Structure 1
Amino acid sequence: MKKLATVEPIVALYILANMAGAIIIQQYIYRNIWENETNSSYIENGNRSNCYQNDSINPKQQVVQEKSSRYFMYLNLSVFFPGLIVTLILGGFSDHYGRKLFVLLPSIGALINSLADLAMAYFSWSIYVLFPSAILASCFGGFPALFAAAFAYVADVSSNKQKNMRMALLDMVLGVMGGIGALSSGYFLKAAGFIWPFLTVALINLANIIYIIFFFEEHTQMSRNEQNQISFCDKFKEILSRILIIFTSSDFRKRIHIGLLLLALSTFALAEFGALGLYTLYELNVPLCWNEILIGAGSATDLGIFLLSFCGVTIFSYHLRDIFIVSIGIFSFVGGMILASFATTTLLMFLVRLVSLFAFMPYPVLRSMLSKSVLPSDQGALFALVACLENLSGTISSTIFNNVYAATVKQFAGFSFLLAACLCIIPIGTLCVLFWWKPQEEECTPLITEEDCS
């Protein structure tokens, strides 16, 4: 059977299933908390959710918003440490044992999680059963591990000139399939309830596992003799040393360069992940009061953001330096956040996505800049570190932004978006330093040896 040397279908199926599943499970939890707090069923009226603006019901709506926000925060915190540790281990191991196993494990974890969601909806279990299933799924690495393995695979098969475009293409696949999953989830949920969408998500995850096992071609493999010579403890120490030596080897300028790139990436992810994670709650709240169709349509407009971000990276790479491309993306995101903080109508909320059209450009460009700074044999360790930093940023941002949103939802629900815009001062300042402080030579940084990059 002929195998395919492409990781994009794996990312596409994974994101399609899990983006749809994430949006559906958020609404399931929200409705469950609504029914428990108000002792009434969740009823929709046309294009409006069960969201009222009169004084007798609105206080209960705010309580539901606060409890839902904190529930999502605790759920994100519960999966952080298992996912962090497993991602670090898998990323380093994949440099020697190949990427195939380490895109398979997160897909198995996603299947377990989707089956737990299906069982919860079918048997009407408590929403708190999501915690053990989510923790178990994170022990398989979760999205950060698949993310690290996928980008490391792209770095393996791409030249330095191709990395910007290939990584932007992978981000575009992520965005397009996520948009399709988000848009379809609303219509599917409205037409069939919760059980059939959860079953469909599980079947897509199963199809992804079948593709990985039978159709995905491995790229990097370690010989059997080499595998037998290295013990697990020695290998684990080597993985940790690969990450630590990033900051202890090479010249001072190169270390500053890598450190600033990581700082810019993690702080921008902190702001963006925190703000985007609040969109569903914000849209369910007054005065928008969106239903599942509008929520899915709003999330699907991110498809256009990913498409234009990919086009922007592709075009700008021929005319602008990488730092300027990243800056355009950050300012696009800041503009969208300022508009979102004052969005009180459906039209304005869709215009937020229009202003943010280039908001995803910084990620592929910053990853490409980091990838060019290390040896080809260390791409897995590098992207494991990047994935862990983004996972850490996502967890911290979830904690901060959900607490801030819960505290300010009664006074000014859009405050969290202004906070995200203000946090972008850090990556913008970092880029200014990078513009003036750059390595004297464009050469790879050795993580383990002192050999020159060929």
Structure 2
Amino acid sequence: MGPGATCPWRGPLPRLQVWTWIEPVVASNQMATSLYDAGLLLVVKASFGAGAFSNHSASPSPRGALEDQQQRAISNFYIVYNLVMGLTPLLSAYWLGWLSDHYHRKIAICVPLLGFLLSRLALLLKVLLDWPVEILYGAAALNGLCGGFSAFWSGVMALGSLGSSEGRRSVRLILIDLILGLAGFCGSMVSGHLFKQMAGHSRQGLVLTACSVSCATCALFYSLLVLKVPESMAKPSKSVDTVSGTAGTYRTLDPDQPDQQSAVGHPPAPGKAKPPKTIIALLFVGAIIYDLAVVGAVDVIPLFVLREPLSWNQVQVGYGMAAGYTIFITSFLGVLAFSRCCRDTTMIVIGMVSFGSGAILLAFVKETYMFYIARAAMLFALIPITTIRSAMSKLIKGSSYGKVFVILQLSLTLTGVVTSTVYNEIYQLTMEKFVGTCFALSSFLSFLAIIPIGIVASKQASSLRYGDIAEK
């Protein structure tokens, strides 16, 4: 009897498709990623250490000048690295999503995991063999050609959507994000300590990168040998306005459902005659603008904490990254609470306001405790993108999840690449004047993203009013 088998007198078996759980893959891969991200930053910082600049200078430079040179070198590295990481998936991610829709769902997960493993191995070899830091550009390109995070996360969201009912889909997807956040938190907390193993040795960071490779290997083998694709749990709703947590927001826009009002003799309301393409487009716009805000701030934070006024060491860098992962926990709790009384659009706006408030606080951080206060204000920052994915999954056919999710993720990735480049340039130009410029810009973009979501909410409210009139 397969994992998806059911008993006619009991429904789904109690051992509910254990092997269909995507969470172990997400946890292992994110543990590897958090270790890799911290290791990459610290290895690059060590490669562009003050000694690298003083050796090329005829006269000694003041410490502040050397620190600025190091910051610019690290920033320039990340500009190129993020460009490679963001652009190369454009060549393969969509086709992996198409293959996953037409042949096997695991294609969009296993191939990117192979790319992740190879890039982690490249960092390990860089530390072990003291290769030049430019070798990491090639590793990033290889990672991207395997689909990168765009293909991987689209595959994860597709499996999560297939294995959940529409009423509980927002909770299901945010639960996956919670697992990702918990794994990232644990990895970041230990990353600084692992990097300091073999301190003073030329191979500093070897333990950290080896652990990252081990976790990536576990994720790949689990997805290949253990993970099973769940059967779709989506069921047609019997009434137009009974989707739990959305208050009937999306049922009227489901292209797979017939016009129920027409079936009972009522003419279709003007608001419902429109196809869902407008709603999907507005959700895309809101997601992209919000992602511009998030990516810009997140990319600048590692550079911001390394220099004055914070000047963090390796352990503090790990703790700071871990603080960023706590939003996965608070966002999960927020969705659990808000989904009972709020529509999806309301939850999205709450998340955007949360991030925008935290970003403006980051712009004026002068002490470490102020940084954590700003991070605490972002407690619901993860809700918008996850909820937008959930909303889209209720508007499209299950057979199109792979393509639609990968298009969304590629759109976010491409705009993120542009944002990362622009923000790094802005940071270099303003770090001696007002270092919080990038965070202030992120706050503005976050509040700007509320506009398309507000339009979606108004369209849905109009649709519901027309539906009430037709029923009467």
1:83 alignment counterpart: 89
Please give the alpha-carbon distance, in whole angstroms, between the structure 2 residues aligned to 1:434 and 1:328: 15
Unaligned runs of 5+ in 2: 4-17, 56-60, 199-203, 233-271, 465-472
Tell me by how many angstroms 1:298 deviates: 1.3
Deviation string 1:327-383 (CA, Å, 9 cap, x unpaired) is 111111111111111111011011111111111111211111111110111111111
Partners of 2:155 and 2:402 within 8 A in 1: yes
1:39 alignment counterpart: 54
Please give the alpha-carbon distance, in whole angstroms, between the structure 2 residues aligned to 1:141 and 1:185: 26
Q: TM-score, normalised by structure 1?
A: 0.84
Q: 1:405 aligns with which of 427, 437, 444?
A: 427
Please give the alpha-carbon distance, in whole angstroms, between the structure 2 residues aligned to 1:36 and 1:372: 56
Unaligned runs of 5+ in 1: 41-54, 222-249, 443-454
Identify if the C-alpha distance between structure 1 residues 319 and 220 changes in structure 2 by more than 3 Å, giving closer, same or farther.
Answer: closer
1:129 alignment counterpart: 135
Partners of 1:109 and 1:137 within 8 A in 2: yes
Tell me by how many angstroms 1:394 deviates: 1.8
1:206 alignment counterpart: 217
Tell me by how many angstroms 1:307 deviates: 0.6
Tell me by how many angstroms 1:79 deviates: 2.6
Deviation string 1:180-216 (CA, Å, 9 cap, x unpaired) is 1111101111234311111111111111111112111
Partners of 1:80 and 1:392 within 8 A in 2: yes
Q: 2:336 aligns with which of 311, 314, 332?
A: 314
1:351 alignment counterpart: 373
Q: Is 1:196 matched up with 2:213? A: no
1:178 alignment counterpart: 184
Q: 1:418 aligns with which of 440, 444, 452?
A: 440
Deviation string 1:267-317 (CA, Å, 9 cap, x unpaired) is 101110110111111000101010111111111122321111001011100
Deviation string 1:73-115 (CA, Å, 9 cap, x unpaired) is 1111123232123111111211121221221111111111111
Partners of 1:105 and 1:141 within 8 A in 2: yes
Partners of 2:347 and 2:383 within 8 A in 1: yes
Q: Which amino acid aligns with 1:15?
A: Q
Identify if the C-alpha distance between structure 1 residues 291 and 251 changes in structure 2 by more than 3 Å, giving closer, same or farther.
Answer: farther
Partners of 1:337 and 1:417 within 8 A in 2: yes
Q: Which amino acid aligns with 2:453?
A: L
2:23 alignment counterpart: 8
Following superposition of structure 1 onto structure 2, how do residues 355-370 of structure 1 map, counting pairs within 5 Å?
355-370=377-392
Q: Which amino acid aligns with 2:152?
A: L
1:326 alignment counterpart: 348
Please give the alpha-carbon distance, in whole angstroms, between the structure 1 residues aligned to 2:82 and 2:429: 19
Following superposition of structure 1 onto structure 2, how do residues 433-448 of structure 1 map, counting pairs within 5 Å?
433-438=455-460
Partners of 1:275 and 1:420 within 8 A in 2: yes
Please give the alpha-carbon distance, in whole angstroms, between the structure 1 residues aligned to 2:231 and 2:334: 31
1:152 alignment counterpart: 158
Partners of 2:286 and 2:452 within 8 A in 1: yes
Please give the alpha-carbon distance, in whole angstroms, between the structure 2 residues aligned to 1:77 and 1:34: 23
Q: Which amino acid aligns with 1:198?
A: T
Partners of 1:99 and 1:219 within 8 A in 2: no
Please give the alpha-carbon distance, in whole angstroms, between the structure 2 residues aligned to 1:422 and 1:36: 39
Partners of 1:118 and 1:199 within 8 A in 2: yes
Aligned residue pairs total: 400
Q: Is 1:30 matched up with 2:45? A: yes
Q: Which amino acid aligns with 1:254?
A: P
Please give the alpha-carbon distance, in whole angstroms, between the structure 1 residues aligned to 2:446 and 2:219: 36
Q: 2:361 aligns with which of 332, 335, 339?
A: 339
Local SS of the residue matching 2:432: coil
Partners of 1:118 and 1:198 within 8 A in 2: yes
Please give the alpha-carbon distance, in whole angstroms, between the structure 2 residues aligned to 1:391 and 1:189: 29
Tell me by how many angstroms 1:19 deviates: 1.6
1:215 alignment counterpart: 226
Matched residues, percent identical?
26
Please give the alpha-carbon distance, in whole angstroms, between the structure 2 residues aligned to 1:441 and 1:339: 38
Q: 2:148 aligns with which of 132, 142, 162?
A: 142
Q: TM-score, normalised by structure 2?
A: 0.81
Please give the alpha-carbon distance, in whole angstroms, between the structure 1 residues aligned to 2:459 and 2:91: 33
Please give the alpha-carbon distance, in whole angstroms, between the structure 2 residues aligned to 1:350 and 1:344: 11
Following superposition of structure 1 onto structure 2, how do residues 87-98 of structure 1 map, counting pairs within 5 Å?
87-98=93-104
Q: Is 1:261 matched up with 2:283? A: yes
Identify if the C-alpha distance between structure 1 residues 64 and 252 changes in structure 2 by more than 3 Å, giving closer, same or farther.
Answer: farther
Local SS of the residue matching 2:310: coil
Partners of 1:82 and 1:138 within 8 A in 2: yes
Partners of 1:97 and 1:220 within 8 A in 2: no
Partners of 1:253 and 1:438 within 8 A in 2: no
1:243 alignment counterpart: none
Q: Which amino acid aligns with 2:160?
A: V
Please give the alpha-carbon distance, in whole angstroms, between the structure 2 residues aligned to 1:36 and 1:401: 27
Partners of 1:70 and 1:406 within 8 A in 2: no
Q: Is 1:100 matched up with 2:100? A: no
Deviation string 1:92-142 (CA, Å, 9 cap, x unpaired) is 211121221221111111111111111111111110011112101211111
Following superposition of structure 1 onto structure 2, how do residues 267-286 of structure 1 map, counting pairs within 5 Å?
267-286=289-308
If asked which structure has higher relative contact order (CA below 8 Å, sep 6+), I would say: 1
Please give the alpha-carbon distance, in whole angstroms, between the structure 1 residues aligned to 2:32 and 2:164: 27
